[in-house]
Amino acid sequence: MTTTTTAPTTTTVLDASGVTMRFGGLTAVRSVDLTVNTGEIVGLIGPNGAGKTTFFNCLTGLYVPTEGKVAYKGTVLPPKPHLVTQAGIARTFQNIRLFANMTVLENVLVGRHTRTKEGLWSALLRLPGFRKAEEASRERAMELLEFTGLAAKADHLARNLPYGEQRKLEIARALASEPGLLLLDEPTAGMNPQETRAAEELIFAIRDQGIAVLVIEHDIRFIMNLCDRVAVLVQGEKIVEGPAEVVQADERVIAAYLGEPFEGAPGAAEAAEVEAAEGDAHSTTEGDDK
Ligand SMILES: Nc1ncnc2c1ncn2[C@@H]1O[C@H](COP(=O)(O)OP(=O)(O)OP(=O)(O)O)[C@@H](O)[C@H]1O
Ligand SMILES: [Mg+2]
């Protein structure tokens, strides 16, 4: 590793090597290596069923990988979700998992309990003797709600939030465990274009706070704007990895997507727009040929 006096030292935050996950006869993830460094936003893309979420589940201890190991800042992680969170990896889920009948603030407090001595129940039940820690927790939780733009809704029930804000709340809750690495599984799924842009800004802001990010997303434009590096999974295997512009132009990636179209496939809407625009251009410049 090279270091200079001006640039901060790059360290490896996540180092997954040879991760394989088999379900019976199906190999959902096959010998995948992936690193994420400090200060980086790394994208993980691939067609439906490629193994992206399964890989996240292997990283976070939800699944015990059939083979391979996952290290965080140089320490191999035991495959237990709470130990992984405690070590410093937080995540959001493809299918939103919030406590629907708790308030927005309470959801974030739940996210904090791995970082506080008083634990979940005293945080929620306000047991005596823990007031001070609890106040600090609430202060931090409110800070995170400000940061994610949800402070005005602190007392709303999570289930009453619109979809886009539920996704943001999941991020706020993940941040409450004070992670060094944040894993986002389709953070903009179901968002409108404005919400997607806001999510992009939020993820940049998270990175700027010194948290490395690994993000799964089908919205290729979003991924290419956001990520320093992109890895492509196809049928459980990492077929390409590199800077966004290199990956975008890679024939294997194009073939993987074209070979297996999925809902919202990259470029489909644009291609249709271009075609329509070209059609219009022809009819206005060349008159009536079609
Ligand atoms: N618990 C499980 N048991 C059996 N098979 C599973 C399990 N979890 C995932 N799979 C299978 O592993 C493969 C990869 O699924 P996964 O959900 O990881 O894909 P993905 O890339 O996240 O897809 P999507 O983009 O649709 O979310 C699929 O064939 C899926 O059916
Ligand atoms: Mg998935």
Residue from 26, 214, 218, 237 to probe ligand 1 pocket by mutation (most atoms less than 8 Å from CB): 26
And the tokens for 262? 């999925």
User: Which of 7-16, 61-70, 123-132, 198-207 has the least mean pLDDT?
Assistant: 123-132
| pLDDT the model gives residue 253 | 86
| pLDDT the model gives residue 284 | 44
Helices 104-112, 163-175: crossing angle, 10 deg rounding: 30
| pLDDT the model gives residue 14 | 98
| pLDDT the model gives residue 258 | 67
| pLDDT the model gives residue 57 | 97
Q: Could you give the CA distance from residue 236 to residue 38 in angstroms, rounded to a whole number?
A: 26
| pLDDT the model gives residue 155 | 97
pLDDT over 50 at 142, yes or no = yes
The verdict on pTM exceeding 0.95 is no
Give yes or no for residue 238 CB within 6 A of ligand 1.
no
Q: Could you give the CA distance from residue 27 to residue 29 in angstroms, rounded to a whole number?
A: 6
Contacts of 279 (CB under 8 A, 6+ apart): 290
| pLDDT the model gives residue 234 | 94
Average pLDDT over residues 83-101: 93
Using alpha carbons, list the distances in angstroms from residue 86 to 71, 82, 112, 141: 13, 6, 10, 17
| pLDDT the model gives residue 260 | 47
CA torsion 60-63-64-69 (nearest 10°) is -40
Contacts of 65 (CB under 8 A, 6+ apart): 19, 20, 21, 29, 58, 79
Q: Per-residue pLDDT tens for 93-135? A: 998 899 999 999 999 998 887 766 656 666 567 666 667 777 8
Mean per-residue pLDDT of the chain: 86
Q: How confident is the model at residue 257 (pLDDT cuts 50, 70, 90)?
A: confident
For residue 63, the ligand 1 atom closest to its alpha carbon is 1
The H-or-E segment that residue 280 falls in is: helix 268-285
| pLDDT the model gives residue 52 | 97
| pLDDT the model gives residue 289 | 40
Q: How confident is the model at residue 41 (pLDDT cuts 50, 70, 90)?
A: very high
| pLDDT the model gives residue 22 | 97
Q: Among residues 70, 90, 27, 80, which one has the least CA distance to residue 233? A: 27
| pLDDT the model gives residue 112 | 83
Q: Per-residue pLDDT tens for 165-214? A: 999 999 999 999 999 999 999 999 988 999 999 999 999 999 999 999 99
Q: Do the bridges between strand 67-72 and strand 237-242 make them parallel or antiparallel, or are there none, so unpaired?
A: unpaired
| Residue 203 vs residue 254, higher pLDDT | 203
Residue from 54, 217, 239 to probe ligand 1 pocket by mutation (most atoms less than 8 Å from CB): 54
| pLDDT the model gives residue 288 | 40
Percent pLDDT > 70 in the chain is: 81
| pLDDT the model gives residue 152 | 97
Give yes or no for residue 51 CB within 6 A of ligand 1.
yes
* Helix, strand or coil, per DSSP, at residue 220: helix
